[in-house]
Amino acid sequence: MATTIAKPARIFGSAIRRREDPRLLTGTAKYTADITLPGQLHAAILRSPHGHARIRKIDTSAAKAAPGVVAAFTGADTEGVLQSIPCAWLVPNSDLKVSPYPAMAKSVVRYVGDAVAVVVAESAQQAYDAVDLVDVDYEPLPVTIDPEKAVKPGAPQLHMEAPNNIAFKWTVAGGDVEAAFKNAEVVVRDRIVQQRLIPTAMETRGALAHYIPATGELTLWNTTQNPHIVRFIMSLVSGIPEDRLRVIAPEVGGGFGSKIAQIQGDFITVFCSMKLGRPVKWIESRSENYQSTTHGRDHVQDVELAATKDGRILGLRCTVWAGMGAYLSTAAPGIPTILHGLMLSGPYKIPAVKEDVYGVYTNTTPVEAYRGAGRPEATFMLERIIDRLAGEIGIDPVEVRRRNLIPPFDNGFDVITGLKYDSGNYQGALDKALGHAGYEKLREEQAAARKKGRYLGIGVSVYVEICGLGPSQVAGAVGFQGGLWESAIIRFHPSGKAQVFIGASPHGQGEETTFAQIVADELGVSVNDVKVVHGDTDITPMGWGTYGSRTTAVSGAALAMATRKIKEKAKLLTSHLLEAAVEDIDFANGKFFVRGFPDRHKTIQDIALMANVAWNMPQGMEPGLEATTFYDPPNFVFPFGAHLAVVEVDPETGHVELKRYVAVDDCGPQINPMIVEGQVHGGVVQGIGQALWEQAVYNDNGQLLTGSLADYAIPRADVLPDIEVLHTVTPSPHHPLGVKGIGEAGTIASTCTVYNAVLDALEPFKVQSILMPLTPERVWQAIAGQKGA
């Protein structure tokens, strides 16, 4: 009988439990609000109740006299101390108008929630009591909240620098779009509104600042996705030199883009500590979070598609009005332009595209990245208009997609917007989704159900996303005011245990586990012997942060390269210790050995010890076993997939029941499939939230009507089916591990998938378009409107 030797399971690709979880499960993890310093004060911020108003006078005397109050400040106090909050994505060729964004309003407030004053007291309760005593005399001004209306003549003006409220106009074009429309046999048009959303990370934003006047040093605990960017921007605004500024992102309770930007409260907290020389903490309430932390989406899109009668797409043309809110947030201008316009052709061969994007100031909370950031808005537009085309020409929407998909490629494909996709097999993902769902059978069920007066709908979408942001040279070329590389340090201790230090800043995505898996896989150590450290600018090397599905793609690549440097040094030291030629040293399963003589070996732990004690080093070799890598990717990565949803609409009530959801995603090889699946679940559900329930609503006066979790409907457990998660695996040709990103994929695909399913269900009623979210009332009204027509 042959003896079978069990091959050790590869740790890369294993669904191991997360290393970060025990502290989270036991309540021992410390988020910003959980940290208390001796002598700490609490700040409460007074926020504008008006969408637009001139400040005539502010009187803080009653607040200052209230029990426990230490100080109260207004915008005037920040003069000469705090600079304006910078915008960090200055999109070129867009006539960008960056209007001053003060940390506290000085003469005019421009949205409900704009910071007006701050009260600092011994306790949070005292601060909140006293902030109500600040007396502000406002002169209300006219308000504009809709990005399309705000550019029209006669609309109220927010900033004198930006006539007609236009912050920028940007155009992307490729191919001959005029000819495409001239030659078209079919043109379909649609107006799509990507409603404004509120990210709603479960932990609100907050900051704890401790400034020491004697040394001029500041430590800032901050709920952020990018502590190194915080340090950079905070230094620019506060004047505290970067070397004296330490930013710590402790445990961070979700971000979804809402913890990228530096917001007013962060600067105000730092300002208070600078003025008072004591630690000052500010933690948003949820209502404050909804007004003052950034929002997402807010596009009005006019889109038209030129095609042949047999469904071949000839061209796509669109105009977008993108609401920016009252000020340009950190990355805001890049979202409806670079991250949106460049992805217009999606996974399809589209020979001509043109898009004009207007970035528009409105009297609303500033808009920023929200999970997907520009790409959901592009995917929705394309996937919706393709369904409209399919309806127009009477061909199955899946077949129309098939006729236009880019064929499989594994090493680069140039698209019309100028990007080079890295690898893709869109047809493969679509086939897998359709096969798993049983598409043909679903269509039969749909037909049978309709005969019984039941309205099933099937929605499909195919997506490709740009992520792993990105090469720094490209970042510079598109106006991003920073780099987009990452760095990693691996440090082996004498006992053979390793620590990894990364500049990126995970906040729920599980990289303390997946990055330990990378090291374990490359160097043969136990995953339990690798600790991943992040989120402290005094300890970790520079990095640009966790957003844009870039941490595994870029920071993970830096780490993989660092492991290879460790391997090279370990080989050299092994060859010295074993008196063998370095060319003869092989490495497998954590052991460096002389080729052909596996017993003559040193383990990585042996090498860690010998390198740290340094008793017997080769000539010229430095002690220690440590490697640092700076990794700037040669291109973005382009994950993709195909999703399918089945819904049933009750025409009597307009209620939408989501019956099935199938997600096929391709993020390349998976380091930890359990974590990948969790990212898909969460992403898909956030996108479903946009399709069915979520919307930030302002009234005409600029009041945020959905100002709390009582009014803004994020998905709950009882309104969702299980997501059926599948994958294909297409490695990125340029990434050292072949991996792409998965954080945003679900959100990018699911909104349009569900929307298409609902509209497919309503096909018998000839409903073509309903504003999101697809609440029962809106669905019912749409059906009733068609019945009456």
Partner 1 sequence: MKLSVSITVNGRAYDREIEPRLLLVHFLRDSLALTGTKIGCDTSQCGACVVLLDGVAVKSCTCLAAQADGSQVTTIEGVAPDGQLNAIQEAFWTKHGLQCGFCTPGMIFATQALLSGNSNPSPEQIRHALEGNLCRCTGYQNIVRSVQAAAAAGGR
45 binds partner 1 (CB under 8 A): no
* 641 lies in the site for partner 1, by CB under 8 A: no
Give residue for tokens 């038209």: 304
**Which pairs count as long-range contacts for 580-585, CB under 8 Å and 24+ apart, including other chains?**
none
689, 715 Cβ separation under 8 angstroms = yes
* Other Cβ atoms within 10 Å of 645 Cβ, number: 31
Nearest-approach distance from CB 727 to partner 1, in angstroms: 16
**Nearest CA to 325 among 285, 286, 294?**
294
Closest CA to 245 of 276, 278, 281, 270: 270
Of the candidate residues 346, 510, 543, 556, the single one contacting partner 1 (CB under 8 A)? 510
* Measured distance CA(283)–CA(285) in Å, rounded: 7
Establish if 9 lies at the interface with partner 1 (CB under 8 A): no
Q: Which stretch binds partner 1 (CB under 8 A): 98-106, 337-345, 481-489, 675-683?
A: 675-683
Q: Please identify, using beta-carbon distances, which residue of 283 and 498 lies nearer to partner 1.
A: 283
Closest CA to 368 of 450, 461, 292, 471: 292
Smallest distance from the beta carbon of 89 to partner 1, in angstroms?
25
Pinpoint the alpha helices (H) of 199-300. 227-238, 264-276, 286-292
Binding residue for partner 1, selected from 36, 528, 653, 769, defined by CB under 8 A: 36
> Please, what is the minimum distance in Å from the beta carbon of residue 202 to partner 1?
4
By C-beta, is 18 or 246 nearer to partner 1? 18
CB of 138 to partner 1, least distance (A): 24
Nearer to partner 1, 175 or 743 (CB): 743
Contact between 682 and partner 1 by CB under 8 A: the answer reads yes
* Smallest separation (angstroms) from partner 1 to the CB of 32: 11
Phi, psi of 423 (to 5 degrees): -160, 155
Closest to partner 1 by CB, 288 or 383: 288
Q: Which x/- pattern, by CB under 8 A, does the window 146-185 give for partner 1? A: ----------------------------------------
Q: What 8-state DSSP symbol labels residue 707?
A: -
Longest dimension (CA), the chain: 93
The contact mask relative to partner 1 for 324-363 (x = CB under 8 A, - = no) is ----------------------------------------
Choice between 125 and 699, CB closer to partner 1: 125
Distance CA 589, CA 631 (A): 26
Tokens standing for 95?
């006539």
What residues between 710 and 749 interact with partner 1 by CB under 8 A?
A: 710, 714-718, 720, 722-723
Give the C-alpha separation, 132 to 127, whole Å: 9
End-to-end CA distance of the chain: 79
Q: Please choose, from the candidates 293, 298, 326, the residue with its C-alpha nearest in 3D space to the C-alpha of residue 224.
A: 293
508 counts as binding partner 1 under rule CB under 8 A: yes
Q: Which CB atom, from 69 or from 172, has the smaller least distance to partner 1?
A: 69
Tokens 């630690």, residue located: 279
The one segment of 23-31, 459-467, 543-551, 601-609 that binds partner 1 by CB under 8 A? 23-31
Neighbouring C-beta atoms of residue 624, cutoff 10 Å: 16
For 463-482, b/e burial (b = at least 16 CB within 10 A) is: bbbbbbbbbbebbeebbbbb
Instruction: For partner 1, give the closer residue by CB, 528 or 589.
Output: 528
* Contact window for partner 1 (CB under 8 A) among 50-58, 130-138, 285-293, 382-390: 285-293
Instruction: Assess 28 for contact with partner 1 (CB under 8 A).
Output: yes
3 Cβ contact partners less than 8 Å away, ≥ 6 residues apart:
none
Stretch that binds partner 1, among 29-37, 163-171, 208-216, 568-576 (CB under 8 A): 29-37
Amino acid at site 678: G
Nearest to partner 1 of 32, 555 (CB atom)? 32
- Whichever of 223 and 264 has its CB closer to partner 1, that residue is 223
| Distances 153 to 53, 149, 165, 166, 637 between C-alpha atoms, Å | 20, 9, 10, 12, 42
- Least separation in angstroms between residue 272's CB and partner 1 is 20
Say whether residue 33 binds partner 1 (CB under 8 A). Answer: yes
State the nearest-atom distance from the C-beta of 21 to partner 1, in Å.
5
Give the Cα separation of 424 and 346 in Å (integer).
11
The residue among 114 and 677 lying less far from partner 1, judged by its C-beta, is 677
Q: Which of residues 92-151 bind partner 1 (CB under 8 A)?
A: 123-125
| 164: Cβ contacts below 8 Å, ≥ 6 apart | 150, 151, 152, 153, 155, 157
Q: Under the criterion CB under 8 A, does residue 256 sit at the interface with partner 1?
A: yes
CB of 526 to partner 1, least distance (A): 18
Phi and psi at 784, nearest 5°, equal: -65, -40
18 lies in the binding site for partner 1 (CB under 8 A): yes
Shortest distance in whole angstroms from residue 678 CB to partner 1: 5
Only one residue has tokens 């003025």, namely 275
Q: Which of 156, 494, 678, 776 is close enough to bind partner 1 by CB under 8 A?
A: 678
Residue 717 C-beta: closest distance to partner 1, Å = 4
The one segment of 174-182, 308-316, 690-698, 702-710 that binds partner 1 by CB under 8 A: 702-710
Distance CA 260, CA 504 (A): 12
Q: Is 672 helix (H, G, I), strand (E, B) or coil?
A: coil
Alpha helices in 651-712 (DSSP H): 673-692
Half-sphere exposure of 628 (CA within 13 A, CB side): 8
Please give, one letter per residue, the 3-state secondary structure of 145-208.
CCHHHHCCCCCCCCCCCCHHHEEEEEEEEECCHHHHHHCCCEEEEEEEEEEEECCCCCCCCEEE
The C-alpha atoms of residue 107 and residue 319 are separated, in whole angstroms, by 34
- Does 38 bind partner 1 (CB under 8 A)? Our answer is no
Binding of partner 1 at residue 204 (CB under 8 A)?
A: yes
- Please, which residue, 128 or 780, has the CB nearer to partner 1? 128
Among 287, 308, 706, 786, binds partner 1 (CB under 8 A): 287
Pick the closer one to partner 1 by CB: 44 or 237. Answer: 44
Residues that bind partner 1 (CB under 8 A): 17-18, 20-31, 33-34, 36, 123-125, 200-204, 251-254, 256, 285-287, 507-510, 674-675, 677-678, 681-686, 708-710, 714-718, 720, 722-723
